[in-house]
C-alpha cells in the first residue's frame, strides 16, 4: 500500500530566520480525484493508467459516480424486469459490474480510498415520469428502487461479496458514500421546479430528500450504517431562466429547501412546508456536506465570490451558514465537515471560450488548495478531471490534455506552492503530495531575489505530519520562490513551479 508523509508547520531555518506559520488549518485535508470518463467509461487500460497517475500525483481518494443505467438490466425499458430484485447485486448482469469492480480493486491496490456516488442517469423503469426515454433518465426517481440499487452496491462492496467474474474473489469494502450528483441541476435530476397555480414551487429538493433517506436505508441494510455518508454534491450556481423542469436551482436555495429552513434559518411552516413535504422532519443521518465550488465558467480566479446566490471556494461562508442553521433546527448533526468533491479550472488551450492560460490554471489550483487548507471545515478538495474531455464543449479542466500530454498543472498539483504576505514576513505554503509517511523528509524553501531561476535555499522544513504540507514564515524578500525536495528513500529531486508573492 502506498504511504505518504507530510511536512511540519514547524520549520528549521538554515539561517535562523524562519518560523512556523500557525496550526489553525486543515492539516489532515484529503487530496481527491474524479474522472469518470477515464476510470469507468473508457476501458481497463485507461482506468489502470489513470489510477497510476493519481497515485504518482499523491492523491488519497478517488470519487466516482456509479451510473445507475450502466449496471441496471433493460435500462431503456419502461417496465422493470419481471422478478428483478434490485437489492441483490447478483440480480444484475455480472459483466456490467466489471467497470466498478476494476475501479475498486485498482484503487485499493494503490492505497487509494474511494467515495462512490450512486446517481443518474437511471433506467427508464425507475422513473416516475411518463415522458421520453431521455427525460426518464433523470426524472423523478423511484425512491424504493433507488434504495434497492444503493443496497446492491453496498452489499457488493461490503468486503464479503464474492465476484461472479473473478473466480469468486472477494471484492474490497467501500466505506464512504455520497448521495447523487448535482441534484440542483436539471441535467442530473428533474423536475427542478413546477407551477402550482400561479406560483413556481421547487421540486428537486423534496425529491432529493427522499433519495437521501432511501440511500441511508440501503446502506444500513447492507452493513454500512457506520460509514461516511455525504449530502449535497451541489453545483455552485443556478439560473433564473429556462424551462422550469430543468432550470438549475441555486445551491443555497436547494439546500435550504432540502433541509426545510428559510433564509433566516427558521423552520418552514404552513404552505411553504406543505409544498416541500416538510412535516415531521427527522434528522438526516449524514456525516458531511459535499459541494462543487467552481468559479463561474471554471475560469474566474479562486478569489471570485460569484453572484449573491453562488457558492464558490471563496464564498463558502454561505454554505457554512446553511449548515449551522440546519443543525440548530436538528435537521443535521452540528459541525459537519465540508468536502469539495469536484473542482477545477478550464485551460486554454484547448478551451478558447472559458479557458485560462496554462500558467494561470496551475497557479489557480495552488491558490485554491491554499484557500481550502486555511479552512478547518474543509476536509477534501477533489480535482476534476485528470484528462481533458473529447468534446470541447465539455470539461477541459484536466491536468493532461486529451492526448495525454501533461499541462503545467500536472506538476503544480503534485507539488503545490503559494506565497503570500503575512505581516512583515512572507508565508510560504506548499505540499509534497507523493511523500512517504514512513520517513522524515526535508524540503528546501528557495528564493531568487532577482526574479529569475538562480535559486538559493532560504530554509529547510522537516517533515512531521501525514499530508505533506509546508507552512512557514520567512523574511519578506522579492523575486521568485520554489520548493525543492529529494526523497530520503532515494529518487530524483523535484521542484515546484516558480511562484511570486500573491498580491
103-117 per-position pLDDT tens digit: 999 999 999 999 999
pLDDT tens-digit profile of 66-86? 999 999 999 999 999 999 999
pLDDT tens-digit profile of 346-399? 999 999 999 999 999 999 999 999 999 999 999 999 999 999 999 999 999 999
Torsion over CA: 119, 123, 125, 129 (sign): positive
Report d(CA 488, CA 429) in Å as an integer.
Answer: 21
- What residues have CB less than 8 Å from 414, skipping those under 6 apart? 56, 57, 58, 433, 434, 494
pLDDT tens-digit profile of 125-157? 999 999 999 999 999 999 999 999 999 999 999
408 and 421 Cβ atoms separated by less than 8 Å = no
pLDDT at 492: 94
> 463 falls in which pLDDT band (50, 70, 90)?
low
pLDDT at 8: 28
pLDDT above 70 as % of the chain: 93
Report d(CA 165, CA 89) in Å as an integer.
Answer: 13
What's the order of all strands across the beta sheet hosting 417-422?
19-20, 469-475, 425-431, 417-422
C-alpha cell belonging to residue 136: 426518464
Report d(CA 314, CA 10) in Å as an integer.
Answer: 27
- What residues have CB less than 8 Å from 56, skipping those under 6 apart? 414, 434
337 and 288 Cβ atoms separated by less than 8 Å = yes
Above 80 in pLDDT, residue 273? yes
C-alpha cell belonging to residue 231: 449530502
DSSP code, position 186: T
C-alpha cell belonging to residue 413: 498539483
Lowest mean pLDDT among 37-41, 64-68, 165-169, 177-181: 165-169
pLDDT at 295: 98
> 405 falls in which pLDDT band (50, 70, 90)?
very high
Average pLDDT, the chain: 93
Lowest mean pLDDT among 37-41, 247-251, 303-307, 432-436: 432-436
Above 80 in pLDDT, residue 194? yes
- Cα-to-chain-centroid distance, residue 244: 27
Per DSSP bridges, beta strands 113-119 and 442-448 are unpaired
| Residue entry with cell 480493486 | 105
Above 90 in pLDDT, residue 31? yes
Above 60 in pLDDT, residue 16? no
Q: What number is the average pLDDT over the span 41-55? A: 98
Virtual torsion, Cα 435, 48, 35, 164, nearest 10 deg: -120
DSSP code, position 161: P
DSSP code, position 439: S
pTM as predicted: 0.94
Lowest mean pLDDT among 107-121, 134-148, 458-472, 474-488: 458-472
pLDDT above 90 as % of the chain: 88
pLDDT at 7: 23
The DSSP string of 8-42 is: -SS-B-SSS--EE--S-S-TTPEEEEE-HHHHTSS
For 87, list phi and psi in degrees, rounded to 5.
-85, -10
Report d(CA 437, CA 463) in Å as an integer.
Answer: 9
- What residues have CB less than 8 Å from 397, skipping those under 6 apart? 298, 344, 345, 346, 347, 383, 384, 385, 388
- Burial annotation 350-383 (CB, 10 A radius, 16+ → b, else e): ebeebbbebebbbbbbbbbbbbbbebebbbbbbb
> 246 falls in which pLDDT band (50, 70, 90)?
very high
Report d(CA 59, CA 4) in Å as an integer.
Answer: 10
DSSP code, position 250: P
Classify residue 471 as exposed, middle or buried by CB count within 10 Å of its CB (0-12, 13-18, 19+): buried
DSSP code, position 170: B
> 20 falls in which pLDDT band (50, 70, 90)?
low
Above 70 in pLDDT, residue 12? no
Amino acid at each position: 500500500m502506498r504511504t505518504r508523509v507530510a511536512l511540519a508547520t514547524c520549520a528549521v531555518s538554515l539561517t535562523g530566520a524562519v518560523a512556523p506559520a500557525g496550526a489553525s488549518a486543515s492539516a489532515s485535508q484529503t487530496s481527491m480525484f474524479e474522472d469518470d470518463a477515464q476510470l469507468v467509461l473508457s476501458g481497463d487500460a485507461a482506468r489502470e493508467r489513470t489510477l497510476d497517475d493519481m497515485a504518482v500525483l499523491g492523491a488519497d481518494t478517488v470519487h466516482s459516480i456509479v451510473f445507475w443505467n450502466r449496471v441496471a438490466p433493460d435500462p431503456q425499458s419502461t417496465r422493470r424486469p419481471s422478478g428483478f430484485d434490485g437489492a441483490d447485486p447478483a440480480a444484475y448482469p455480472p459483466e456490467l459490474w466489471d467497470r466498478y469492480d476494476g475501479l475498486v480493486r485498482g484503487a485499493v491496490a494503490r492505497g487509494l480510498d474511494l467515495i462512490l456516488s450512486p446517481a443518474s442517469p437511471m433506467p427508464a423503469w425507475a422513473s416516475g415520469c411518463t415522458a421520453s426515454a431521455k427525460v426518464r433518465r433523470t426524472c423523478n426517481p423511484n425512491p424504493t428502487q433507488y434504495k434497492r440499487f444503493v443496497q446492491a452496491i453496498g452489499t457488493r462492496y461490503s468486503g464479503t461479496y464474492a465476484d461472479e467474474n473473478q473466480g469468486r474473489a472477494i471484492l474490497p469494502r467501500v466505506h464512504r458514500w455520497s448521495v447523487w450528483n448535482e441534484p440542483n441541476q436539471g441535467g442530473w435530476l428533474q423536475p427542478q421546479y413546477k407551477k402550482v397555480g400561479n406560483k413556481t414551487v421547487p421540486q428537486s429538493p423534496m425529491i432529493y430528500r427522499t433519495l437521501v433517506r432511501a440511500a441511508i436505508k440501503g446502506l444500513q441494510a447492507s452493513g454500512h450504517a457506520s460509514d461516511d455518508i455525504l449530502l449535497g454534491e451541489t453545483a455552485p450556481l443556478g439560473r433564473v431562466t429556462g424551462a422550469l423542469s430543468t432550470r438549475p436551482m441555486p445551491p443555497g436555495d436547494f439546500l435550504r429547501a432540502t433541509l426545510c429552513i428559510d433564509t433566516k434559518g427558521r423552520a418552514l411552516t404552513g404552505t411553504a412546508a406543505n409544498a416541500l413535504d416538510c412535516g415531521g422532519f427527522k434528522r438526516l443521518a449524514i456525516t458531511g456536506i459535499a459541494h462543487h465550488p467552481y468559479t463561474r465558467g471554471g475560469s474566474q480566479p479562486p478569489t471570485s465570490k460569484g453572484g449573491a446566490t453562488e457558492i464558490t471556494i471563496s464564498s463558502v461562508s454561505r454554505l457554512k451558514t446553511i449548515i449551522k442553521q440546519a443543525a440548530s433546527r436538528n435537521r443535521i448533526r452540528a459541525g459537519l465537515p465540508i468536502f469539495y468533491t469536484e473542482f477545477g479550472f478550464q485551460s486554454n488551450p484547448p478551451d478558447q471560450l472559458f479557458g485560462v492560460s496554462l500558467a494561470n490554471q496551475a497557479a489557480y489550483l495552488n491558490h485554491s488548495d491554499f484557500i481550502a487548507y486555511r479552512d478547518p471545515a474543509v476536509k477534501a478538495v477533489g480535482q476534476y478531471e485528470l484528462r481533458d474531455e473529447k468534446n470541447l464543449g465539455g470539461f477541459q479542466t484536466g491536468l493532461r490534455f486529451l492526448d495525454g500530454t501533461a499541462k503545467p498543472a500536472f506538476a503544480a498539483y503534485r507539488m503545490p506552492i503559494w506565497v503570500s504576505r503575512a505581516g512583515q514576513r512572507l508565508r510560504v505554503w506548499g505540499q509534497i503530495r507523493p511523500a512517504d509517511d514512513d520517513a522524515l523528509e526535508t524540503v528546501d524553501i528557495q528564493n531568487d531575489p532577482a526574479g529569475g531561476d538562480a535559486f538559493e535555499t532560504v530554509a529547510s522544513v522537516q517533515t512531521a505530519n501525514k499530508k505533506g504540507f509546508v507552512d512557514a514564515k520567512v523574511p519578506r524578500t522579492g523575486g521568485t520562490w520554489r520548493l525543492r525536495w529529494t526523497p530520503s528513500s532515494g529518487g530524483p529531486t523535484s521542484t515546484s513551479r516558480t511562484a511570486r508573492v500573491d498580491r
